[in-house]
């Protein structure tokens, strides 16, 4: 550890005697550090760990009281089986290896080996993921401060100088926005967009409106000719044009049927059966309802929105406005998603229109007594599949994934399929309902993995005129089609690690993030076990 980092930590701990995971008040400005990471998503905690390992002094600020984002919040199967695992090493691989060792230390043998890069599902329990995450942060001497909601940014020209939060003001040489929503970049005046592009804007065949699912032959209107609840539109808009819709958000539920660990699902307050009339009609017409279940250790299941289902855990249209909302607004949207989740489960397990076998299947499940104990056993993390996207130095689009995968400045090899969930549910005036926006996985046939491509360093860089000391690895510069492939934790964790290394180097050299020499960055990425060469087996 560098002497200046030791001095920083001593000074900081004098101000914050219990800084790690601290909840205490910090009303004065904290001493200047090398790197501040805003957002403790998986990409965020990897950025903080990576920067610290490069010798930087690091503070990781989290707006909520939950550290780890989706990886510790219910997502217990991160889809790396659909990636080329030989290219996703670095901190992602280390994190999973340490989870495997955690289980092994307690005599639990997992049904997979992280050292074997096959297509097995790598699963884990949320509390184990949280324990390993905290251990890695502690070992890296990262100062983690929760409940620091960003209120404003102070800039001098193109440089961010300070972050004013709900509890303290913080300054650094280099900043990393690791939020799913792109909150810091937006507050810093960096250009961004949200929603979907039209097909002509970047020449993307998967842009615009996407009708991958069959039309449901049911009436989408009530007796007053008004759209039924849970229908979001009666006109999807021109097929070739984009819009501001984001793909559905949902919770990843940690569930069990074990009576010793099972907590009954909470009954929703003010449940109105009429809200689910559209599902009732669909069920009566023979449609299947439910959600995906992935088996995880401890006799548990990870419950996920079904991308192929017409109705599932995702609240279609519910995520619109989340990224742009303030803290109060997001609380309301979060609660709306929780209410929908509880109501959907109640409908699924109680409504006579649902087949008895389906009702029994899901009624056997409950929340887990040993998970999320500070949150009434319900996931604290909403699955924000996409938020704002930066308009940076390079916009990654469909052609970069499927036609021109190689770049001169790669910081990760990404290979998850192009994959978008529903964006809207449309009641057609001439009859029927259709879900719009799903892009079913665009991938190789054997093995069933996405096409490998480079994400360039330029894609996490703001335009120099916007900001010169900020890196944006999560809400990076790409199209909706691009984020539909990038948006999984394996890719985001390595992008975060790359951003952390770049931030530390830029701080050490006293240069802007745009001026950092790629050759130096590449050397450090390889030293931290990243893979930057495209696999020979990837066919485009």
pLDDT per position as a tens digit, 189-199: 999 999 999 99
Task: Check whether 477 has a pLDDT greater than 50.
Answer: yes
- pLDDT-derived band at 54 (thresholds 50, 70, 90) equals very high
pLDDT (tens digit per residue) in 295-338:
999 999 999 999 999 999 999 999 999 999 999 999 999 999 99
pLDDT (tens digit per residue) in 120-147:
999 999 999 999 999 999 999 999 999 9
Contact 457, 409 (CB under 8 A): yes
pLDDT (tens digit per residue) in 2-13:
444 544 554 454
Going by C-alpha positions, the residue among 59, 136, 178 that lies closest to residue 492 is 178
pLDDT (tens digit per residue) in 500-512:
999 999 999 999 9
Going by C-alpha positions, the residue among 423, 420, 452, 444 that lies closest to residue 435 is 423
pLDDT (tens digit per residue) in 93-104:
999 999 999 999
What is the share, in percent, of the chain residues with pLDDT greater than 70? Answer: 94
Contact 182, 390 (CB under 8 A): yes
Contact 207, 214 (CB under 8 A): no
Name the helix (H) or strand (E) containing 171: strand 168-177
d(CA 142, CA 53): 10
Which whole number is the average pLDDT over 26-55? Answer: 91
Contact 228, 216 (CB under 8 A): no
pLDDT (tens digit per residue) in 166-178:
999 999 999 999 9
DSSP string computed for 419-485: EE---EEEE-TTS-EEEE--EEEE--SSS--PPPEEEEGGGG---TTT-SSEE-SSS-SB-HHHHHH
d(CA 178, CA 70): 13
d(CA 108, CA 100): 9
Task: Check whether 440 has a pLDDT greater than 50.
Answer: yes
Which whole number is the average pLDDT over 462-481? Answer: 98
pTM of the model: 0.95
Task: Check whether 24 has a pLDDT greater than 90.
Answer: no
Angle formed by the axes of helices 90-105 and 126-139, nearest 10°: 120
> What's the order of all strands across the beta sheet hosting 262-263?
262-263, 366-368, 253-256, 300-304, 292-296
Going by C-alpha positions, the residue among 379, 293, 372, 304 that lies closest to residue 128 is 372
Position 522 scores a pLDDT of 98
Question: In sequence order, what are the residues at sequence separation of 6 or more whose Cβ sits closer than 8 angstroms to the Cβ of residue 47?
Answer: 37, 176, 178, 471, 473, 496, 497, 499, 500, 503
- pLDDT-derived band at 536 (thresholds 50, 70, 90) equals confident
Task: Check whether 519 has a pLDDT greater than 60.
Answer: yes
Position 429 scores a pLDDT of 94
- pLDDT-derived band at 31 (thresholds 50, 70, 90) equals confident
Name the helix (H) or strand (E) containing 43: helix 42-53
Task: Check whether 514 has a pLDDT greater than 90.
Answer: yes
What is the share, in percent, of the chain residues with pLDDT greater than 90? Answer: 93
Contact 392, 185 (CB under 8 A): no
Position 30 scores a pLDDT of 74
d(CA 107, CA 439): 41
DSSP string computed for 362-400: HHT-EEETTS-GGGTTS-S-EE-----EE--S--B-HHH
Contact 14, 148 (CB under 8 A): no
């Amino acid at each position: 550890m560098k002497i200046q980092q030791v001095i920083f930590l001593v000074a900081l701990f004098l101000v914050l005697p219990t800084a790690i995971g601290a909840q205490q008040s910090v009303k004065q400005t904290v001493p200047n550090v090398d790197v501040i990471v805003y957002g403790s998503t998986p990409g965020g905690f990897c950025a903080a760990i990576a920067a610290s390992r490069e010798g930087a002094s690091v503070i990781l600020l989290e707006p909520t009281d939950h550290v780890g984002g989706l990886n510790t919040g219910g997502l217990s199967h991160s889809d790396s089986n659909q990636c080329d695992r030989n290219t996703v090493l670095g901190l992602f691989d280390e994190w999973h290896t340490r989870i495997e060792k955690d289980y092994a230390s307690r005599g639990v043998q997992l049904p997979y080996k992280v050292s074997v890069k096959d297509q097995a599902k790598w699963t884990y329990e949320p509390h184990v993921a949280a324990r390993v995450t905290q251990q890695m942060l502690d070992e890296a001497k990262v100062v983690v401060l929760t409940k620091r909601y960003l209120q404003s940014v102070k800039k001098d020209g193109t440089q961010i100088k300070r972050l004013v939060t709900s509890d303290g003001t913080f300054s650094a040489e280099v900043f990393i926005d690791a939020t799913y929503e792109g909150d810091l970049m937006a507050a810093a005046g960096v250009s961004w967009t949200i929603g979907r592009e039209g097909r002509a804007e970047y020449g993307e065949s998967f842009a615009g409106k996407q009708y991958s699912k069959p039309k449901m032959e049911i009436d989408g209107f009530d007796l007053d000719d008004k759209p039924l609840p849970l229908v979001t539109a009666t006109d999807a808009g021109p097929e070739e044009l984009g819009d501001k819709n984001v793909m559905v958000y949902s919770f990843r539920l940690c569930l069990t049927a074990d009576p010793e660990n099972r907590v009954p699902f909470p009954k929703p307050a003010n449940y109105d059966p009429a809200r689910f009339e559209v599902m009732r009609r669909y069920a009566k017409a023979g449609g299947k309802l439910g959600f995906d279940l992935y088996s995880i250790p401890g006799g548990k299941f990870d419950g996920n929105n079904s991308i192929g289902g017409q109705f599932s855990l995702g609240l279609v249209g519910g995520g619109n406005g989340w990224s742009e909302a303030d803290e109060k607004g997001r609380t309301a949207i979060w609660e709306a998603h929780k209410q929908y989740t509880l109501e959907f489960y109640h409908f699924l397990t109680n409504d006579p229109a649902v087949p008895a076998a389906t009702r029994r299947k899901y009624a056997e499940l409950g929340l887990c007594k040993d998970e999320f104990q500070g949150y009434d056993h319900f996931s604290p993390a909403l699955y924000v599949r996409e938020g704002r996207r930066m308009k940076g130095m390079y916009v990654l689009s469909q052609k970069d994934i499927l036609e021109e995968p190689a770049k001169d400045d790669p910081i990760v090899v990404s290979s998850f399929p192009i994959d978008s969930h529903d964006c809207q549910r449309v009641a057609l005036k001439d009859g029927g309902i259709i879900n719009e926006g799903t892009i079913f996985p665009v991938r190789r046939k054997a093995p069933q993995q996405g096409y490998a491509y480079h994400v360039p360093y330029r894609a996490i860089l703001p335009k120099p005129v916007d900001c010169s000391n900020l890196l944006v690895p999560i809400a990076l510069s790409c199209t909706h089609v691009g984020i539909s492939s990038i948006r999984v934790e394996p890719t985001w964790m390595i992008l975060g690690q790359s951003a952390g290394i770049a931030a530390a180097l830029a701080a050490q050299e006293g240069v802007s993030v745009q001026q950092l020499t790629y050759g130096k960055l590449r050397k450090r990425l390889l030293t931290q076990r990243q893979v930057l060469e495209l696999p020979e087996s990837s066919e485009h």
